[in-house]
Chain A
Amino acid sequence: MAAPLGTGALTEDTGQEKQDTQKEKTVPPERAEEAKLKAKYPNLGQKPGGSDFLRKRLQKGQKYFDSGDYNMAKAKVKNKQLPSAGPDKNLVTGDHIPTPQDLPQRKSSLVTSKLAG
């Protein structure tokens, strides 16, 4: 869902905005925003605070790598390219196997905080 923050300015379709100011006279701003969101993502589930969303929040930080799976996949595609990272590195579905490239890189040694400089 996350779009890059870019310059920080919100992207707004000005045509839509004009329509909305008229709509806002009768429709509360939140509902207008909801309609915008549903127009963009028609498959969005009904309950935003529901269990899928919360469970994803609870799983923050989960990384997967199974060397057995990875080597099996490598053996299967001998002549072709090695399995590569999918768009969502943490998603393990179907044939997508997490690769060593997906794993967290060892963080470089920390220096003193710039607040103390």
Chain B
Amino acid sequence: FSGAGGGNDIQWCFSQVKGAVDDDVAEADIISTVEFNHSGELLATGDKGGRVVIFQQEQENKTQSHSRGEYNVYSTFQSHEPEFDYLKSLEIEEKINKIRWLPQKNAAQFLLSTNDKTIKLWKISERDKRPEGYNLKEEDGRYRDPTTVTTLRVPVFRPMDLMVEASPRRIFANAHTYHINSISINSDYETYLSADDLRINLWHLEITDRSFNIVDIKPANMEELTEVITAAEFHPNSCSTFVYSSSKGTIRLCDMRASALCDRHSKLFEEPEDPSNRSFFSEIISSISDVKFSHSGRYMMTRDYLSVKIWDLNMENRPVETYQVHEYLRSKLCSLYENDCIFDKFECCWNGLDRQVEFFSVLHGSIVMTGSYNNFFRMFDRNSKRDVTLEASRENNKPRTVLKPRKVCASGKRKKDEISVDSLDFNKKILHTAWHPKENIIAVATTNNLYIFQDKMN
């Protein structure tokens, strides 16, 4: 729907791109997570090298009404280091799997970042003043000879160049035997959950030496293992409710009031499978790679290899909507299995709330976005049922130029601007995307670059 006209259609324009231009990508530079904070003013990225980079949106310039503020580097720090667990002979990657922001309570910002084993709470604070005029110290810090002090003065705070400091405030370690795939902050803003392949733990943000296990799907005999947990999220409004998805395409909703260990679900969401369509690949492509609640909490969205599904929490037996992301890949599954692409974990996200047109069109929950290959990403408008494919590429570099929709030719004769399935670059995957909570600004991560797109404001 980009460029198609009509009041409700968003026209996406390139705004910024961050990262190196060179094709030779160092493994550490691979972006592994992208997340806006609750106001949208800050945008955090995590990478395979364990680093976090936070961008801050510029305050809107009154004279430059054509574009919303640009994002500039605000803070960067090493969140996790590579480790080796000698007892288990296990290499622990420093890759940041997820970042989740806490809502802002005071001047400082807080976020949780996690690798495979350890979750950390980081405090990001600003310092723009420093005390000057000490009696016993020179301005450069050297101590003065006390005998030369003849008068007393009161030190005062003077402005200084803004310094942004990140410090780890809590380290939540040693609670996960398997690899952490998700963290989710509860709506009580006091607790959060962390999920690995087989277990989900509940933490209190203030307490690091203890966590409660709330889901455990490890079978007594590992030979009987049939499914693993792939993602988990707390309900946005109900602090006792959370969901977790599995490698078999199911989602379980659990209520912590029902029992201490939520091994028995309150609801099980599963789409019945057509047995005649079952193949070797069926289970693999049904594995859910991401689950996200809508803001209202009435719906949730899941992403499996080929599609995005919207579920109504009141209906367990099938999704209310299904959107095909790249159905043309169904006839390429053999190759995608051989090159491991079939195991790629794509994320998905809901649109934010457009403050410009609050009562019309682009309300939250009306558009969903997800990535694909060849640096393509897809958006589905739930109301108009239209969809669009866009590309994150340095070729569309001019700000305020509307992105041209892309089209993949599945079979038959390829039209002029189309790209054939066999020409798609499967090394160029967009796994992580994020939508500003309040504006039509999106962040799209390619392998090692971060693209920011905005809608064209007229």
Q: Please give the distance in Å from A88's CB to the nearest CB on chain B.
A: 15
CB 8 Å contact bits of B318-345 with A (1 = contact, 0 = none):
0000000000001111111111100000
Are A31 and B90 within 8 A (Cβ)? no
Interface residues on B, range: 35 or more
Nearest opposing residue in chain A for B423, CB measure: A9
Are B281 and A5 within 8 A (Cβ)? no
Cα A3 to Cα B335 in complex, Å, equals 9
Q: Please give the distance in Å from A68's CB to the nearest CB on chain B.
A: 14
CB 8 Å contact bits of A35-59 with B (1 = contact, 0 = none):
0111010001001111100110110
**B204 is an interface residue with CB less than 8 A from chain A:** no
Contacts of B20 in A (CB 8 A): 114, 117
Q: Please give the distance in Å from B133's CB to the nearest CB on chain A.
A: 34
**A19 is an interface residue with CB less than 8 A from chain B:** no
Q: Which single member of B49, B82, B89, B448 contacts A63 (CB below 8 Å)?
A: B89
**B197 is an interface residue with CB less than 8 A from chain A:** yes
Interface residues on A, range: 35 or more
Quick one: given A5-B339, A10-B332, are A54 and B89 in contact (CB under 8 Å)? no
Cα A65 to Cα B449 in complex, Å, equals 37
Contacts of B277 in A (CB 8 A): 28, 30-31
Cα A114 to Cα B53 in complex, Å, equals 9
**B260 is an interface residue with CB less than 8 A from chain A:** no
Are A110 and B49 within 8 A (Cβ)? yes
Are B331 and A32 within 8 A (Cβ)? yes
Cα A34 to Cα B330 in complex, Å, equals 11
CB 8 Å contact bits of B14-41 with A (1 = contact, 0 = none):
0000111000000011010000000000
Contacts of A32 in B (CB 8 A): 331
Contacts of A62 in B (CB 8 A): 88-91
Nearest opposing residue in chain A for B335, CB measure: A10
**A75 is an interface residue with CB less than 8 A from chain B:** no
**B92 is an interface residue with CB less than 8 A from chain A:** yes
Nearest opposing residue in chain B for A60, CB measure: B179
**A26 is an interface residue with CB less than 8 A from chain B:** no
Q: Please give the distance in Å from B246's CB to the nearest CB on chain A.
A: 10
**B148 is an interface residue with CB less than 8 A from chain A:** no
**A95 is an interface residue with CB less than 8 A from chain B:** no
Q: Which single member of B92, B248, B424, B427 contacts A61 (CB below 8 Å)?
A: B92
Are B228 and A54 within 8 A (Cβ)? yes
CB 8 Å contact bits of B196-208 with A (1 = contact, 0 = none):
0110000000000
Q: Please give the distance in Å from A24's CB to the nearest CB on chain B.
A: 7
Are B247 and A112 within 8 A (Cβ)? no
Are B51 and A8 within 8 A (Cβ)? no
Quick one: given A2-B338, A2-B339, are A8 and B284 in contact (CB under 8 Å)? no
Are A37 and B226 within 8 A (Cβ)? no
**B422 is an interface residue with CB less than 8 A from chain A:** yes
Contacts of A40 in B (CB 8 A): 334, 338
Q: Which single member of A48, A54, A110, A115 contacts B280 (CB below 8 Å)?
A: A48
Are B227 and A49 within 8 A (Cβ)? yes
- Nearest first, the 9 closest Cβ-Cβ pairs linking A and B are A8-B425, A49-B283, A29-B331, A33-B333, A30-B279, A36-B334, A114-B20, A116-B76, A34-B279
Q: List 11 A-B contacts (CB under 8 A).
A: A1-B340, A8-B427, A10-B339, A28-B276, A30-B277, A31-B277, A31-B279, A47-B283, A48-B284, A51-B225, A54-B228
Report which A residues bind B (CB closer than 8 A): 1-5, 7-12, 20-21, 24, 28-34, 36-38, 40, 44, 47-51, 54-55, 57-58, 60-65, 104, 107, 110, 112-117
- A12-B422, A33-B333, A113-B53 given; name 8 further pairs at CB < 8 Å: A3-B338, A3-B339, A9-B422, A21-B411, A55-B225, A61-B92, A61-B116, A116-B53
